[in-house]
Structure 1
Amino acid sequence: MTAKEAAQLLRTFDNVLILTHMRPDGDTVGCAGALCAALRNLGKTAYLLPNPEITDNSRPYAAPYLAPDGFCPEKVVSTDIAALSLFPQNALPYQDRVDLAIDHHPSYEGFGANSCVQPQCAACGEILYEIARELGPITPEIALPLYVAVSTDTGCFVYSNTTANTHRVAAALMDTGIDYRQVNKTFFRTKSRKRLALEADMLRNMQLFDSGRIVVMQIPVSLMEEVQASESDAEDLSSLAGLVEGNDCAVTMRELRRDVWKISLRTGSRVNATQVCQLLGGGGHAAAAGCTIEGSAQSATEQILDAVARIAGDFPR
């Protein structure tokens, strides 16, 4: 459905629970917070399902809206969730109860009873902006988390998914008077010492394949433990590999637990990231996708390289 149709449907909802995805980023949290604020402005009862993996940077945008213990929703809405496998553990009871799914991933699995999916949007926040406009005025309380959503999913407007519409939405949000400067400083211009230690190790141990066009970086559990890093320290580490000169396929491998790797793939036009990750049970966008692989670090590396070769053509190892 269109954003206008989604807004019309939301006007009929009450006692709403809003879901975010596993390892939540700024897009899912920002969209959820903005939607909750917009619904409350209509006099609706709305909450976010607490996400145990939320980071320190994103937590302030969810904190005012978290559902109390015992809240029983009449309606359930998901934001920026493409697959049921991305539901956090406490969201699993709602897998068959999603009344409206709002998403921008081409790999969206269609689990919602109703869906507002626009893959051409760089961030789910762009869709939420259009929905929120239909619901009422864009207040600063709505605009701030939406700016977080749009800016983080575009790497502060530098990723290849950024469009002219992305900038138009960001400008409209900035015009509400929000403190976007602090958002940019928090998410893009500030790094803890532990974060810098993680990056230093990733750079020191990175692997290059296909004459440098493929870069592989790893964050094993042992590294997280060694530097005593938190999830906030590790947020958006997947952007680092793409900074290496000459690459058009950046692979970041984050070990979630022993021999279970979360793969984040960032690519240029030569490699379709979604097609690669779909071979391994994941999905996402053409230039940014992810999947999970079980096995040793070497085995996981070989699996992702084999998948890249199947999509982009073989290359010297």
Structure 2
Amino acid sequence: MRLDWSTLLEVLRGCSKVVLTSHVRPDCDALGSELGMAGILEAIGKHVRIVNAQATPASLKWIDPRGKIESLAEKVRPADLADRDLFIVLDTSAWAQLGAMGDVAKSMRDRVLVIDHHVSEDDLSDRWFKDTAAEATARIVYEIGLRLRVPLTESIATPLYAGLSTDTGGFRFPSVSGESFRIAGRLVDAGANPTAIYRELFEQDTLARLHLVGRTIAGAVTSHDGKVIISTVRQHDIKEVKAQPADTEDLVNLTLSVKGTEVAAILIEQPDGRIKVSFRSRGRLDCNALAARFGGGGHKAAAGTIIDGPFDPAHERVVAAVDEAWLAQQAAVA
């Protein structure tokens, strides 16, 4: 069922030991929501562990200065979490995005609660709290703290501001509202440093990353009078410029920034041969519906999926699907 606020708060107040998790390849909305939620729950007397399937990427470790986030990839065993009476999944509603933590969630199915803002969902739990109008899961966590009357501290405000800033693209995406800025202001008043956070989020590119950006833009192909742009990143591209996997994040948003572009897609080859596909639009084409055709999902303006190779046939399928979706959208408004 969809939990209303009173039911959600009752569940949170009634638990004792909590484990928080989020999606693989975490961004700052995932990590920030975990850290913010942990601080809120600890403030009302709960024992909290944050455990993800993968270790926090080196480029994002700044968000967790106290090293609170653990992972199955390091030292945590699934059996270590058996004593948790509540298992909260943040910022995803998809089994595939939980990695090895998905198996842990299945073993604790009756204790799982999902808190998310994405449209797409799997059958993770019978207990959901979703607000698809929220610009970030960090926004929902902020609202939870407000309703639990937990005072904002710097250690709560900083990760929540980072999450809000990440999922709004630095407060520039269509999901941003006046309330987004009002919340951001309250987080800053509580100790979040917008200058420092901006630098960590948007001004930490390595030379290798910039070389990869150049290759991505140079190899992009446009269609439909420049309204659609599709780019690719192969494993050899990453290796030749000595980039890291994290350097591929946000490349799709750069391609969407090309003047006149309405829809962007990028295919990024993974080390295991699978392909990460990301879709972006300026709001008219439904990226969530497009990603759903490949077993993925997300939001109307931003969505993604992971598909199997080989790369070239997969690329052809994605191009065909984007073309079909664009033409259908154009016909609908004609």
Query: Which TM-score applies when normalising by structure 2?
Result: 0.88
> What does residue 204 of structure 1 align with?
218
> What does residue 76 of structure 1 align with?
87
> What does residue 176 of structure 2 align with?
162
Contact 1:31 1:124 in 2 (8 A): yes
Contact 1:19 1:91 in 2 (8 A): no
1:101 aligns with 2:114: yes
Show the 5 A alignment for 1:52-201.
Answer: 52-62=54-64, 64-67=67-70, 69=76, 70-72=80-82, 73-95=84-106, 96-135=109-148, 136-201=150-215
SS in 2 for 1:313: helix
Aligned counterparts of 1:168 and 1:35: Cα–Cα separation in 2 = 20
How far apart are residue 297 of structure 1 and its match?
3.4
Report which stretch shifted further, 208-217 or 93-102. Answer: 93-102
* Off by >4 Å, runs of 4+ in structure 1: none
* AA aligned opposite 1:75: L
> What does residue 47 of structure 2 align with?
45
Could you say what the CA RMSD is over the residues aligned between the two structures, in angstroms? 2.0
Q: CA separation of 1:230/1:53 partners in 2, compared to 1, >3 Å: closer, same or farther?
A: farther
How far apart are residue 25 of structure 1 and its match?
0.9
How far apart are residue 206 of structure 1 and its match?
1.0
Aligned counterparts of 1:213 and 1:269: Cα–Cα separation in 2 = 13
1:14 aligns with 2:27: no
SS in 2 for 1:101: strand
SS in 2 for 1:240: helix
**Percent of aligned positions that are identical:** 25
Aligned counterparts of 1:267 and 1:205: Cα–Cα separation in 2 = 19
- Report how many residues are paired: 315
> What does residue 317 of structure 2 align with?
303
How far apart are residue 110 of structure 1 and its match?
4.5
Aligned counterparts of 1:35 and 1:149: Cα–Cα separation in 2 = 12
Report which stretch shifted further, 271-280 or 250-259. Answer: 250-259
Query: Which TM-score applies when normalising by structure 1?
Result: 0.92
How far apart are residue 180 of structure 1 and its match?
2.0
> What does residue 2 of structure 1 align with?
4
* AA aligned opposite 2:188: M
> What does residue 248 of structure 2 align with?
234
Q: CA separation of 1:292/1:300 partners in 2, compared to 1, >3 Å: closer, same or farther?
A: same
Aligned counterparts of 1:55 and 1:22: Cα–Cα separation in 2 = 10
Contact 1:34 1:143 in 2 (8 A): yes
How far apart are residue 121 of structure 1 and its match?
0.7
How far apart are residue 17 of structure 1 and its match?
0.6
Report which stretch shifted further, 146-155 or 235-244. Answer: 235-244
Aligned counterparts of 1:133 and 1:65: Cα–Cα separation in 2 = 23
Structure 2: 5+ residue stretches without partners: 330-334
Aligned counterparts of 2:238 and 2:6: Cα–Cα separation in 1 = 44
> What does residue 287 of structure 2 align with?
273
* Cα deviation code 1:168-212 (max 9, x no counterpart): 221111111222211101111231111101101111111112221
Contact 1:4 1:131 in 2 (8 A): no
Aligned counterparts of 1:296 and 1:214: Cα–Cα separation in 2 = 23
Contact 1:207 1:215 in 2 (8 A): yes
* AA aligned opposite 1:235: E
* Cα deviation code 1:85-136 (max 9, x no counterpart): 1112244221335521100011123522311100001111111100011221
* AA aligned opposite 1:106: V
Report which stretch shifted further, 254-263 or 293-302. Answer: 293-302
